[in-house]
Amino acid sequence: MVVYVPLYLEKYIGFSWTEIGIMFTIMLLPFVLFELPVGELEDRKYGEREFLTIGFVIMGLSTLFISFITLKSFWIWTTILFITRIGASFVEISTESYFFKHVNQEKPDVISFFRITRPLSFIVGPVIATIALQFMPFQYIFIVIGICMILGAHYSLALTDTK
């Protein structure tokens, strides 16, 4: 998403880099707006599994929907990107919270592995997408990414909830 959405918006939809910069600024607001309240709800009432699953579903469906938007409308694109990041913010806080409730400082190797997986995904994801782009049009890469995210919801349901 980080690599391909701006390229797609510029090359295929026709937005300027200035417009894309504004969209991305707005798009990232859910990380500021939702992480603290969601984290508190997880700790006090619901647990991580529910928000992790909801986050994957929101993120997956909205990412999948990107493939079908061909209109150059600043607010439509900003809204769909904002919705993808609502899901991502739910997943991020839920993942962190769940992990650190199950692992303590006595397992530095597990913590190190957890910390390296996100940066590693910034390499592995684009490599897989580049390979997929050899077989499908750019527009449809978001369907593949969305399906992968929705599959994450399936696996999140298998977690033992903390509440």
Domains in the chain, number: 1
Q: What is the dihedral of CA 65, 75, 153, 95, to 10 degrees?
A: 150
One-letter amino acid at 57 equals V
Residue 26 lies in a domain: yes
- Determine, yes or no, domain membership for 29: yes
Give me the phi and psi of 136, to 5 degrees please.
-150, 160
Say if 48 falls within a structural domain.
yes
Is there a domain that residue 161 lies in?
Answer: no
Contact call for residues 81 and 63 (beta carbons, < 8 A): no
Query: Can you read off the two tokens belonging to residue 162?
Result: 């903390």
Residue 37 belongs to domain with CATH number: 1.20.1250.20
**Band of the pLDDT at 110, cuts 50, 70, 90?**
confident
In this model, does residue 113 exceed pLDDT 90?
no
Rounded CA-CA distance 57/1 in Å is: 16
pLDDT at 40 over 70: yes
* Rounded Cα distance, 14 and 40, in Å: 40
Q: How far is CA 35 from CA 22, 23, 135, in A?
A: 21, 20, 37
Judge whether 163 lies within some domain: no
Full-model pTM: 0.89
Give the residue with greater pLDDT, 160 vs 23.
Answer: 23
In this prediction, residue 56 has a pLDDT band, given cuts at 50, 70 and 90, of very high
* Position 10 in a domain: yes
| CA neighbor of 150 nearest in space, from 80, 56, 62 | 56
Domain span holding position 34: 4-156
Six token digits for residue 138: 């750019």
